[in-house]
Structure 1
Amino acid sequence: MSTQVQPDNKTRRYDRQLRLWAASGQSALENARLLVISASATSSSILKNLVLPGVGHFTILDPAKVTPRDAGNNFFLEGASSIGKSRAEEAVRLLLELNDGVEGKADTSSLENILDTNPGYFSAFTLVIAHNLEPKLLGRLSALLWADDTLPILVAVNSAGFLGEFYIQFHEHPIIDSHSENTPSLRIDKAFPALQEYAMSLDFANMDPTEHGHIPYVVILVRALADWKAAHDGKPPQTSDEKKQFKEGLQSMKVKFDEENFDEAEAQAYRCWTETRVPSDIQALFQDPQLGTLSPQSPPFFHLLDALRKFSLEPPHTLPLTSSLPDMKANTANYIELQKLYKTRAEEEKAHFKSLLAVPLDDALIDSFVKNAHGLKVLRGKRYGAVDADAVALASAISNNPKAGATHLALSALARVSSSSPTVEEITAAAQALLPPGTELPEEFENAVGELARSPTADLPNTAAFLGGLVAQEVIKMITKQYVPIDSYCVVDLIETWTGIV
């Protein structure tokens, strides 16, 4: 009598997110250490969305005391009873109530003092999040973190009223599991020997009709393509007439009119004449400069990428086969048999891939890399503020996306106005100073500048909640190195309810 193993408490608690980023992603999240600068409503909302899924540790750096204004807009303070207490300590205490598996700490030191006397402070963290930081301090912080690529990623968040934006500063971000929508190749046009032998061994003509209606379309196509090549000098269908003739041949193989597996084969027939090769975006990665300077100290990703390059240079000049199969019309026995063939071949190719590695690496990492080789990404970022420092680049970005560009320009201009109650004229003048002389401001700028002049320091609960979800989502992508994060300014307008990228 078999016994069913019940999932443990951790698996039950995190079940939904484990489906999104698996155990490897959860482990990365639990090992992360975050530094959050300021216990504002927005910062607290970001943290809420990171504490709930189980980030390992967070520290809130904030020397301020809770004001009546804070108590009125931050749900992670206890109203009037929090007023006068440490803002960091109150936020940490209440955020920790959300998840007893997370560690949190309050630090009431001054960021400016840390930058002056203890710049090594930041090396203990995986990622730093700063909300509405005073521009000069933000500039110093971003410069410090950018100067050494071993220091943490910076997420700079700015908001005012119903407008906001965030930017992720990172040097290099390789992604193995991008959750690409592209599916791995079934390699029908370059069938491996065991699959070819299996397809050719079946006696289609004398098969039981029920069995015939459950042959997987992969097997049908491999067999049909082999028969076609035998009659056409070893070449697949090439012209439109030949492709039409090939599809008609698939339909003629039916023994009953309603055999869905043959309809599937016809729909997938393009795989027979579309050559399986390394996708162009993966080919481009083989030119990455990191591969030219590979050493034992290089990041594991680039050792894996180098092995993939070597693998692709050998016949059949493809990516390693993966054992995952799509759903298809087939009975259980036929589907399992096909799956066994793919799994055996995938294991053989993975073993060969491992032999091409110049350094030993963890088997789980190799498995993940091979499985997701069709969706690899390498992102390279820019220092925070680099676009604003280049007037021509900024003007071009605004021209390409006037709506989001105008809001970003207004927020950047607001940061350069020293007045605590800036006027429309002051923000407009600061915006024009960021652009090449004579550049006309986009029409959309008027709406953005009006909102910023009305509420230049307002940290509204609804804006905080929306930004909290967006920023936390991107932070999780960076920590887990899964999915593709936004590598530019993400702008939010909750007046007209839209988001955009600059």
Structure 2
Amino acid sequence: MAEPKVKYDRQLRIWGEQGQAALEKASICLLNCGPTGSETLKNLVLGGVGSITVVDGSKVEVGDLGNNFMVDESSVGQSKAQCVCAFLQELNDAVKAKFIEEHPEELIEMNPSFFSQFTLVIATQVVEDSMVKLDRICREENIILIFARSYGLMGLVRISVKEHTVIESKPDHFLDDLRLNNPWPELRRFADTIDLNTTDAVEHKHTPYIIILVKMAEEWANTHGGKLPSTREDKKQFKDLIKSKMITMDEENYKEAMEASFKLFSPQGISPNLQKIIDDSCAEVDSNSSDFWVMVAALKVCRYRLIEDEFNSPVQPELQKYLTDEDHGTLQEANSLKVLPENTAVGLYILLRAADRFAANYSKFPGQFDGEMDEDISRLKTTAVGLLSELGCNGSALSEDLINEMCRYGASELHAVAAFVGGVASQEVIKLITRQFIPMSGTFIFNGIDHKSQLLLL
């Protein structure tokens, strides 16, 4: 029993034994084990996920040796799923690993019930048509789904789940709600037994700082019309009031009270987000309700749009805002200046979707074969302009340089980009499985050209 605690010591300090237990119970399916998928799963295997199933129908080719560190020369010609699975198993023998030598697209089309056995599915390098179908399948079975993709110097990560509840959000800035401005009866009665004006130095020095704040808040309110400090000057005067009660300058409890006075100044009551949860119809619990709704103790509920809805009906004002940058104009205007605009992320997103349409029409990705670059650039531009037109946007907003770059990528998976995208995806997997921390919303786009990333809320 001691060995796993030593092995996972660092991560146990982050998400605790409960989070680790959730990981060890999880069953994960990976679709396509190229560099993006392999890097994603590697991080989860090292973290101690319960079981993995690698699905890939391709064989290892010589080209795979340059971007996938989980195959070697002896793997050429063999099942890629089997080779990657064996390598991952070596990283952590506590993880149950198996492989299925089948093309994911065929499984999605012919055997949708296959996915119901998993806690979470990671779909990598899956094109638009298969994304939509898989999303429907996983939604019906209430399976968590994450899409991850590397395409040249760009990457994409998108979570899709009907509903995700977070019980331990672990915010960066946690504010204790000690009810200092409105103490509960027992606290008030206890505070009434304490005399801050005592001349007993020992008793004065050992008064809890919370009691000091409660009594000082009451004293302040009595002389300020029942109101607590609100302005910057009020807050300074309140701290001075606390300081004036000190007998000696080494009373740590009074210093604590001054440092913690911000807890008293913070707005009290129910936040709008929490009120929304309370008002949600799901809060009407019954015997079948989840622990989340029974306790209503969480800080957030994440819901994600269907991939199909995002593709067919993106939030029009948001898409238009991304396409037109107030500071840098349109993508096309930025192109004339030979600079990369601030809104390159949405251009890459649109062009990736256009590349999938291109592949469906021409049975290859733009720029995939030598000698056809100029023709592919023209075709990709036409496809992208058509896509934007369908979405009600101006196709001329796209940058010529960006179109050329997408063709130059030739649908390649670069290991550096794949490793980064895999890291982001595996981080989100851990959030979703442990139900700790708040997972990202929207579509994450990584732009390797200038090393920037952005969440598109479409």
Give the alignment's TM-score, normalised by structure 2: 0.84
2: CA distance, partners of 1:13 / 1:463:
28
1:133/1:206 CA distance change after superposition, 3 Å: closer
In terms of mean alpha carbon deviation, does 209-218 or 21-30 score higher? 209-218
Q: Which amino acid aligns with 2:188?
A: Q
2: CA distance, partners of 1:442 / 1:35:
38
Tell me how far 1:127 sits from its aligned partner: 1.1
1:398/1:271 CA distance change after superposition, 3 Å: same
2: CA distance, partners of 1:211 / 1:448:
71
1:172-192 Cα shifts (integer Å, max 9, x gaps): 111111112332301111223
Question: Which residue number corresponds to residue 459 of structure 1?
Answer: 413
Tell me how far 1:488 sits from its aligned partner: 1.0
Question: Which residue number corresponds to residue 311 of structure 1?
Answer: none
Question: Which residue number corresponds to residue 151 of structure 2?
Answer: 160
Question: Which residue number corresponds to residue 386 of structure 1?
Answer: 309
Question: Which residue number corresponds to residue 435 of structure 1?
Answer: 388
* 1:53-452 matched pairs, under 5 angstroms: 53-77=47-71, 79-146=72-139, 148=140, 150-180=141-171, 181-209=173-201, 212-229=204-221, 235-237=226-228, 246-272=238-264, 276-292=268-284, 294-305=285-296, 369=297, 373=298, 376-390=299-313, 393=316, 394-399=319-324, 402-418=343-359, 419=362, 420=364, 422=366, 423-436=376-389, 439-442=394-397, 445-452=399-406
2: CA distance, partners of 1:113 / 1:475:
25
Q: Which amino acid aligns with 2:95?
A: V
In terms of mean alpha carbon deviation, does 96-105 or 282-291 score higher? 282-291
1:121/1:18 CA distance change after superposition, 3 Å: same
2: CA distance, partners of 1:213 / 1:167:
55
Q: Which amino acid aligns with 1:140?
A: K
Tell me how far 1:388 sits from its aligned partner: 2.6
Contact 2:142/2:161 (<8 A) preserved: no
* 1:1-20 matched pairs, under 5 angstroms: 8-20=2-14
1:106/1:246 CA distance change after superposition, 3 Å: closer
In terms of mean alpha carbon deviation, does 432-441 or 186-195 score higher? 432-441
SS of 2:358 mapped into structure 1: coil
Question: Which residue number corresponds to residue 43 of structure 1?
Answer: 37
In terms of mean alpha carbon deviation, does 68-77 or 275-284 score higher? 275-284
Matched, 1:26 2:20: yes
Tell me how far 1:209 sits from its aligned partner: 3.5
1:397/1:124 CA distance change after superposition, 3 Å: farther
Tell me how far 1:274 sits from its aligned partner: 5.1
1:132/1:272 CA distance change after superposition, 3 Å: closer
In terms of mean alpha carbon deviation, does 172-181 or 127-136 score higher? 127-136
Contact 2:135/2:306 (<8 A) preserved: yes
SS of 2:116 mapped into structure 1: helix
SS of 1:49 mapped into structure 2: helix
SS of 2:279 mapped into structure 1: coil
Contact 1:127/1:154 (<8 A) preserved: yes
- How many residue pairs match? The answer is 422
Tell me how far 1:222 sits from its aligned partner: 1.2
Question: Which residue number corresponds to residue 339 of structure 1?
Answer: none
Matched, 1:488 2:447: no
Q: Which amino acid aligns with 1:120?
A: S
1:242/1:489 CA distance change after superposition, 3 Å: closer
Tell me how far 1:118 sits from its aligned partner: 2.6
Contact 1:92/1:104 (<8 A) preserved: yes
2: CA distance, partners of 1:427 / 1:151:
36
SS of 2:446 mapped into structure 1: strand
1: CA distance, partners of 2:320 / 2:230:
48
1:230-286 Cα shifts (integer Å, max 9, x gaps): 6677x2446757666544332221112454543443344454465632223211211
1: CA distance, partners of 2:265 / 2:128:
57
2: CA distance, partners of 1:67 / 1:278:
58
2: CA distance, partners of 1:453 / 1:426:
10
Identity %: 32
SS of 1:286 mapped into structure 2: helix
Structure 2: runs of 5+ lacking an equivalent: 326-341, 367-375
1: CA distance, partners of 2:200 / 2:246:
12
Tell me how far 1:57 sits from its aligned partner: 0.7
Q: Which amino acid aligns with 1:497?
A: H
Contact 1:402/1:442 (<8 A) preserved: no
1:89-120 Cα shifts (integer Å, max 9, x gaps): 00000011111110110101333443344321
1:273/1:21 CA distance change after superposition, 3 Å: closer
Tell me how far 1:49 sits from its aligned partner: 0.5
Tell me how far 1:454 sits from its aligned partner: 0.9
Structure 1: runs of 5+ lacking an equivalent: 1-6, 306-368
2: CA distance, partners of 1:287 / 1:96:
47
Tell me how far 1:406 sits from its aligned partner: 1.3
Give the alignment's TM-score, normalised by structure 1: 0.77
1: CA distance, partners of 2:73 / 2:261:
69
1:456/1:9 CA distance change after superposition, 3 Å: same
